[in-house]
Chains A and B, each alone.
Chain A
Amino acid sequence: MQNEFNFVNRNMFDLDDYSAEEILQILESAKAMKEINSRSYKKIPTLRGKTVCTLFFENSTRTLISFELAAHRLSADVVSFSANTSSLSKGESLQDTVLTLDAMGIDAYIIRHSYPGSPQMVHKYTGKPVLNGGDGRHAHPTQALLDIYSIWEKRGSLQGMKVTIVGDIAHSRVVRSNLIGMKKLGAEVTVCAPRTLMPGKMEEIYGCKVEYDLKTALTDADAVMGLRMQLERQKDGLFPSLEEYTKYYSLSKNTLKWAKPDALVMHPGPMNRGIEILPEIADSKQSVILDQVTNGVAVRMALLFLILGGQA
C-alpha cells in the first residue's frame, strides 16, 4: 500500500480540504482495509504504539463503535471521553478538557460534538490531527466517505451518477459533507425536502439541484438516500405531522418506481422505519444500508492509517 499523497498529520474537518484524487486514494485504501476486515484475524500492527482519543459530546452508537473498531484493527490504543452536551455551557470548557487529555499524550483525536467548528478548536489547542465524527449540522465527512465508498464499490465511479438525498436537509450534517464529496467526484446530486426543511442558497453553495417534489427529485436516480426525520421538527412548526410527511416524502416501493430500476437505496441511520423509509425498501435487494455500516469501519481505518502515517 503506497501513500502517494501526503495525508500525514492532516485534519479531516470536512471533505472540502481534500481533492478528488485524494478522496479516491482514501477509497482505494479503504478497499484494502475491507479485505483485512474479511479475514478471520482482523488486525494489523500498523498503528502499534499510537494513541487515539475519541471525544464524544453527543450520543452516538454506530460512529463511536465504528471508529473504535477501526483504531483497534490497526492496533492503536484507544481512550474514550464522553460528556453530555447539555452540561457543556456550565462545565469545564472544551479547551480545558482537551488540554488535559492532550497532556497525557494523544496522537490523534476523533470528535463528535453538537456545535459546528468544535473539531477546529481541538486542533487549535493540541496541534494534533483531528477527525470530525460529526459537528452539529455542519459536517460528517467520514459518513460521507462511507456513503461515497458504497456507491463507488457497486458502480466503479461516481462520475455522472445521479444521487438524490431526501429528508430533513436543513438539520443534516451528512448531506453537507456528501454534497461536497460527491460533487468533487462528478456526481449529480439532488436534494429534496419541503421548503421548511431546506436551507437557503444550496444551489449557489454546492452546485446541486434543489427539488421540493419527490417525483421530480427521484426520477432517473442511480442512488437514493433517506435522512432521519425527527419528530421534534413538528413542534418547531416545520411540518404538520409524520403522516403527511410520510405520504409525500418517504422512500417506498411506490416512490422508488420513479428512480432507475436498480437504484441503490441508502440511509445513514438510525432509520425511522415507516417514516422516511419503508421496511419494504430498507430490506430490499436494492438496499445497501448494511453495506454502508460495514464500509464505515474500512473507511475510518483508511483515514486513521493515512493520517497517522501507518506503515504497510
Chain B
Amino acid sequence: MKILITNGKAFINDQFVQKDILIEDKKILKVADVIEDAADRIIDAEGKVVLPGFIDLHAHLRDPGQIHKEDIVTGTAAAAKGGFTTICAMPNTSPVVDNIATVEYIQRKATDLGKCKVKVIGAMTKGSEGVEISEYAIMKEGGIVAVSDDGGCVQNAKLTQNCMKYAYNFDLPVIVHAEDYKLAGSGLVNAGKISSQLGLGGIPGLAEEIIISRDIMLAESIGVRLHIAHISTAKGIELVRKAKSDGIAITTEVTPHHLTMNEDAVYGFDTNTKVKPPLRHEKDRQACIAALIDGTIDYIATDHAPHSDYEKEREYNIAPFGINGFETAFASLNTILIKNNKIDLNTIVKAMSEKPAQFLGLNTGKITEGYLADLNIIDLDADIEFTRETMLSKSINTPYINQTLKGKVEYTICEGRITWEAE
C-alpha cells in the first residue's frame, strides 16, 4: 500500500516546508519537493499542515474492568481522531496492570482492534497499593515502557526508594503522580481563592511540590530516570528546573487543561473541571506555559481520563476526578494558545511528537525518510465541535463539551494505515 500526501506544509527539521510525502507500507519512503510516483491513495493536503503523529505519554483507557467509561477500541479511535498515533496506557485498570497477563491483554487487543499504538505502563507496586514492588522485569519482557502508580502516589519514602532502585536495575523510568495524601486531604479543587469561596476542600500546591522534592532527592541518589506526571504548579516547575540544571535525569509533562484553563473554570460547579491535580491559579498556568517554551517541561500529555455521564453528573464532592482529553487536546491548545500567540506551533508539535518519541526510544515522531509513517494532517483554521454525537470516546467529560474550537484533524496515519479520516 502506497499513500502520497501532496501540497501540505510539513513539519520537518523544526520548520514548516511545502513537501510531498510518500508512504510505503509502514514507513516514510520519500520526502521531496515534488513526488510523481504512483500511489494507491493520494491525499491533497493543500492549506493544511502535516505533522508527526502525536504521542501521549499519559492516558487512561479503562480497559480491562471499567469499560463503561472507555475501552481500547473507543479509546484508540478517539486518540486517532485527536491526531495521536501512539498512546501510553496507565495501569490503574481493574485488575491493575501489575502482571504480565494484563500487559499482554492490552497489547493484543490494541494490536488487533486499536486505531493507534498502545504502550503499557506497569504498576509501580502490586495492585498500586503502595506495599510491595510489582514484577518489573517480567512485565518489561511483555513490553512495558515505564512504571507508575498513577492515580495514586506511593506515600512511603523507603518503598519509593526501593521501587526506584529496582526500576533502575531494569532500565525503566519511574513516572510519579506527585500527591501527598495528607496534605491533599479530601480536597477537590485548588486550595486558595476557589476553595475558600466555594466551600470546596482545597488541594494545596504543596501536596504536589513536597512529593516532587522528595522524589528528586531519591532519584538523584539512585540515578533512575524520573518523570513527573501532569505538573501543575509554579513551584513544582522551579524544582524540576533546578534538578535539570543539577544534571539529574528528570523529565516532566503538562496537560492541555492545565495549559488552557485555570481554577476560575470551577465557578458554576461543572464537575468536568474536577481533576487531579486541580486546575490551578492563573500564575501557575502562566508558569506552565513559560516552562513549556523554555524546555523545563518536556512533553504535553493528555491524562485522558474518561468517566461516564452518570458518574460525572453528581454533586461536585462525589463526582470522580478526570478530564477526557484525546479529542480536544490539540484543538484546545491551538485555539487558546497558538492562535493567541502564547506559544508557537513548533513548540506544541515537538512536545507532542518528537520529544515523547525520544522518551519512549521510538523510531517515530519526525517526518524523515525511513521513519515509521506516523502522521496527521490538520486544518488549523477549521472549526471542530465537541458534542455527544461527534465524540468517539465513550465518555464526554470535558469542559469543552458543546464548544467549538479551531484545529481539525483531517487525517491520521499510523504505520501507513489511515486510522482517522474526517468526513
In the complex, the answer to whether A205 meets B197 with C-beta atoms within 8 Å is yes
**In the assembled complex, B269 has its CB within 8 A of some CB on chain A:** yes
- Complex interface: chain A residues within 8 A of B199 (CB): 116, 135-139, 173, 176
8 A Cβ contacts from B156-202 to A: 191-193, 195-200, 202
Query: Taking A88-B318, A121-B269, A199-B195 as contacts, is the C-beta distance between A116 and B310 under 8 angstroms?
Result: no
- Measured in the bound complex, the distance between the Cα atoms of B97 and A249 in whole Å is 52
Distance in Å from the Cβ of B283 to the closest Cβ of chain A? 13
- Measured in the bound complex, the distance between the Cα atoms of B197 and A202 in whole Å is 8
- Measured in the bound complex, the distance between the Cα atoms of B315 and A94 in whole Å is 8
**In the assembled complex, B388 has its CB within 8 A of some CB on chain A:** no
Query: Taking A138-B199, A176-B199 as contacts, is the C-beta distance between A116 and B193 under 8 angstroms?
Result: no
**In the assembled complex, A200 has its CB within 8 A of some CB on chain B:** yes
- Complex interface: chain B residues within 8 A of A61 (CB): none
**In the assembled complex, A89 has its CB within 8 A of some CB on chain B:** yes
In the complex, the answer to whether A200 meets B198 with C-beta atoms within 8 Å is no
Distance in Å from the Cβ of A174 to the closest Cβ of chain B? 11
Tell me the nearest residue of chain A to B189, going by C-beta. Answer: A116
Tell me the nearest residue of chain B to A125, going by C-beta. Answer: B313
8 A Cβ contacts from A172-212 to B: 173, 176, 199-202, 204-205
**In the assembled complex, B308 has its CB within 8 A of some CB on chain A:** no
Binary interface encoding of chain B residues 193-225 relative to chain A, with 1 for a CB under 8 A from any of its CBs, else 0: 101111110100000000000000000000000
In the complex, the answer to whether B191 meets A88 with C-beta atoms within 8 Å is no
- Complex interface: chain B residues within 8 A of A137 (CB): 199-200
**In the assembled complex, A81 has its CB within 8 A of some CB on chain B:** no
In the complex, the answer to whether B193 meets A88 with C-beta atoms within 8 Å is no
In the complex, the answer to whether B314 meets A204 with C-beta atoms within 8 Å is no
In the complex, the answer to whether A115 meets B315 with C-beta atoms within 8 Å is yes
- Measured in the bound complex, the distance between the Cα atoms of B315 and A93 in whole Å is 9
Distance in Å from the Cβ of A100 to the closest Cβ of chain B? 15
Tell me the nearest residue of chain A to B204, going by C-beta. Answer: A200
Tell me the nearest residue of chain B to A140, going by C-beta. Answer: B199
**In the assembled complex, A29 has its CB within 8 A of some CB on chain B:** no
In the complex, the answer to whether B196 meets A88 with C-beta atoms within 8 Å is no
**In the assembled complex, A310 has its CB within 8 A of some CB on chain B:** no
**In the assembled complex, B316 has its CB within 8 A of some CB on chain A:** yes
- Measured in the bound complex, the distance between the Cα atoms of B316 and A89 in whole Å is 11
- Measured in the bound complex, the distance between the Cα atoms of B310 and A201 in whole Å is 34
In this complex, how many residues of chain B approach chain A with their Cβ under 8 Å: the count is: 19
**In the assembled complex, B268 has its CB within 8 A of some CB on chain A:** yes
- Measured in the bound complex, the distance between the Cα atoms of B316 and A283 in whole Å is 40
In the complex, the answer to whether A89 meets B195 with C-beta atoms within 8 Å is no
**In the assembled complex, B317 has its CB within 8 A of some CB on chain A:** yes
In the complex, the answer to whether A116 meets B314 with C-beta atoms within 8 Å is no
Binary interface encoding of chain B residues 303-325 relative to chain A, with 1 for a CB under 8 A from any of its CBs, else 0: 00000001001111110000000
In the complex, the answer to whether A120 meets B318 with C-beta atoms within 8 Å is no
**In the assembled complex, A118 has its CB within 8 A of some CB on chain B:** yes
Distance in Å from the Cβ of A8 to the closest Cβ of chain B? 23
Query: Taking A93-B310, A200-B191 as contacts, is the C-beta distance between A116 and B316 under 8 angstroms?
Result: yes
Query: Taking A115-B318, A138-B200 as contacts, is the C-beta distance between A93 and B195 under 8 angstroms?
Result: no
Q: Which of B192, B193, B310, B316 contacts A117 (CB 8 A)?
A: B316
**In the assembled complex, A113 has its CB within 8 A of some CB on chain B:** yes
Query: Taking A93-B310, A137-B199, A139-B199 as contacts, is the C-beta distance between A115 and B316 under 8 angstroms?
Result: yes
Binary interface encoding of chain A residues 84-100 relative to chain B, with 1 for a CB under 8 A from any of its CBs, else 0: 00001100011100000
- Measured in the bound complex, the distance between the Cα atoms of B197 and A294 in whole Å is 29
In the complex, the answer to whether A176 meets B192 with C-beta atoms within 8 Å is no
- Measured in the bound complex, the distance between the Cα atoms of B197 and A204 in whole Å is 10
Distance in Å from the Cβ of B378 to the closest Cβ of chain A? 35
In the complex, the answer to whether B313 meets A116 with C-beta atoms within 8 Å is no
- Complex interface: chain B residues within 8 A of A200 (CB): 191-193, 195-196, 202
- Complex interface: chain A residues within 8 A of B313 (CB): 93, 95
Q: Which of B191, B192, B200, B202 contacts A116 (CB 8 A)?
A: B200
- Measured in the bound complex, the distance between the Cα atoms of B313 and A89 in whole Å is 12
- Measured in the bound complex, the distance between the Cα atoms of B199 and A202 in whole Å is 12
The interface of chain A, by Cβ under 8 A from chain B, is 88-89, 93-95, 113-118, 120-121, 135-139, 173, 176, 199-202, 204-205
The interface of chain B, by Cβ under 8 A from chain A, is 191-193, 195-200, 202, 268-269, 310, 313-318
* 5 chain-A/chain-B pairs, Cβ below 8 angstroms: A95-B314, A121-B315, A136-B317, A138-B200, A200-B195
9 further A-B pairs in the complex, CB-CB below 8 A; given A117-B198, A199-B196, A205-B196: A95-B313, A114-B317, A115-B318, A116-B198, A118-B315, A138-B198, A173-B199, A199-B195, A205-B193
